[in-house]
Structure 1
Amino acid sequence: MTDADLTGTGAADGDAAARRVVDSVWRIESAQIVATLTKLTGDLGLAEDLAQEALLEALEQWPRDGVPRNPGAWLTMVAKRRAIDGWRRRAALDERYRSLARDLEQASDLDWEPIGDDVLRLVFTACHPVLSRESQVALTLRVVSGLTTPEIARMLLVPVPTVQARITRAKKTLAAANVHFEAPDPAEWPRRLSAVLGVVYLLFTEGYAATSGPNWIRADLANEALRLGRRLVALVPREPEAHALVALMEFQASRFAARVAPDGSAILLADQHRERWDRAQIVRGTAALSRADALGRGRGAYALQAAIAQCHSVAPSVAATDWEQIVILYEALGRIAPNPVVELNRAIAVSMATGPATALRIVDGLTDDASLRGSHLIPSVRGELLARLGRVEEARSELRTAAHLAANDREREVLLRKVADLPQ
């Protein structure tokens, strides 16, 4: 190999390393960066554009100059300066923008701090009642989590073009309605709270079990969702579903240490060492669910899911889990929040409570559901149930189909391992 070859390889490696850093920073801090820029400009679409321009500049500069000490601060300041440049190019600048420009020119990356309430404010802004519920959720997931459009589509069980159209339409609607980045008055909270809770829930769900990529868990997303949930409870302490959502996230997050092996592979519930579950989080989840119940309005969708998670959290083993109670809770959840995924989970609980034959009939009733078409969920559950019924060849076929459809690498490994474990 020549010296030129070595130099070229090093440059390529440096570019790849810089890109990985940029991707990592964007995953972790995109919500904070976009929230800062939206607060600065009052325009969500412009804020996203500025952030993307800063990312492109990072990809150009970091391989050459090295990664800055505080990458998130660097991206934020570059985007702010681009905003200032844009304002200066305008024919007429008002005094507010001139004042902002003077202040920002004197700022340094040492002035930058992680954003707290601004992220929650961004969620409330994107969940503006001028948007449909579907558009609120799609837009907020995009700007707060940094999730890709295909990832959001898999979470919402809708086609990718549908999500793209919702996000584009939502941005145009917010701009047309002249919606500013500001915390709504308390009187406005009830109109937005359901969507805000839904976004936090979906954000945590993606963190708990990533729909795609190389990781079984995305702790950064899950932890951010839990942080937002706790801040939300402080904002609306009389809302039982806010407490219930925090309870659900505490219970589920308590298992994180036991769900992943040192090599990153997934550990399923039956194989987890329960002594590794975080008992402090389980206690916090129990307290949060008790607070939700104490408000006396009955259990909603998040409270029922939290109660299901609590059943798992207090059980000493899979066999000793109160599956009958879990079935009842899923039945109640299916009545107030009908969803094919809820029905699939009910089927799994039924299989544990009464056997796989009844559960298989439930799953077979979902095979024509359009929202699950192309998903690995139905064949993965069918394969498991067929294996338990001794229908090995059918099980093998279903599990292979599920592995082919799975977008998450670790999920695919689990399914292929199940295929390998089937008797020949």
Structure 2
Amino acid sequence: MKLRGLYGNTSHTGHSIDFFELAAPGARDALLASPFYDTYRPIQALTLRGCQVRLLVRLSSATTPAALQEAVNDPNVTVRYFTGRRFHAKVYVVDDIAMVGSANLTDAGMYANREVSIILHRSRDPAFDELPGIFDSLWDYADVLSLDVLRAYEKAFRSPGRPSDEEDFEKHIHKFIKPCDPPTIRVGSDKVTRERSFLQTFRRKYDEVLVPAQRKVAEILIRGKFGRPEFADADPQIEIGRFLGWVRLIHGAGDGWREAPIVAGRGLENRVAEYLSLWKEAGDIVAGDMFQADKEIANIARIRLELGDRERLSSLSYDDLFDVLTGCHAFLELLRFTQGGLDGLRNDFAKRNSLAAIKQTIEYLVRGPGDVVQRAYDCIFDERYRLGRFGESCVMELAGWATPDRPPFNSRTIKGLRFLGFDVERHA
């Protein structure tokens, strides 16, 4: 079968799905924009061949949470979204060819509806050159589809009596998810506020770079029968965090973490597996760290117990709350920059922050409205929640321990990921 010049979902013209299956062999990068999305098959055709996919969709009555979950679960896919009906583009660019027309990424659009979509080639069609730029302008403005957003969308999608009319559905979904519209051609309408721009950069740092990298490490480690006896029966995230910290401290000391090569694919898996073997054979995994494994496991359990319950948090004295926070490596590492050891840090933190302010910030971070990345951002940059000497590493590590499905991050674990070969240096 050869790639056609036009697809119309008939036996004579071929079906829209054919474009993806024929473009997949050897494909490296794909830019897919579709307001309606309910089938993972076109994406899977690409990613099974190793293609990296950026998927842009609209959260609409025709876009299903199940299909989004399949895309999010695929390590070769990054997903962003709009909620507004103005996003109506159907553009599919795979390396040097593109399909543009009426077909959505739906079962009906790929197989049944009478669609009209034409094929453009970079080598012969001048219009092709405009497509990546159009996609990027939309992509840069769209929001990241995090697991928190996906859960909120599923709740909206499954709620009884949800409207099927697109205008009514848009109003309905905004009860669950903040509006996100594409820019328009009106002068000044596509200006991004300073706060939103910073938040989007922050969100992409974690949800599109760091979280997928950490999950890839976890996948490789678990496949390699990861697990030292010291961490038996504990949350695997505790040992993964210790492994990344150990890699950075022992093997990537100084600037060694930055000088390690960036690798991908099989090379990345082999490198992680290599250091997994060293980790399992190491006689001393505490070197350069603060805690034995049993103490760290107890620390995380205490964080989740004391901060995970509003009444328990409210009843904590300053000294007890301070001791809970020292279970975070990022917070305890402030000892390196504090005179007087632990008592010096205890006194300095109390001078900078009242007990009420500390509790307010933790309460907001753990149980506040919206998704955890928004709350974490506020705890770092918003004067209402920002604490003295409790910066990004402290906030993101604490957010990870206190939030299900959210890995904890600090500067040490990020540098460990970079040493293993992930391209995360700009976030270290």
TM-score, normalised to structure 1's length? 0.31
TM-score, normalised to structure 2's length? 0.30
Greater share of helix = 1
Greater share of strand = 2
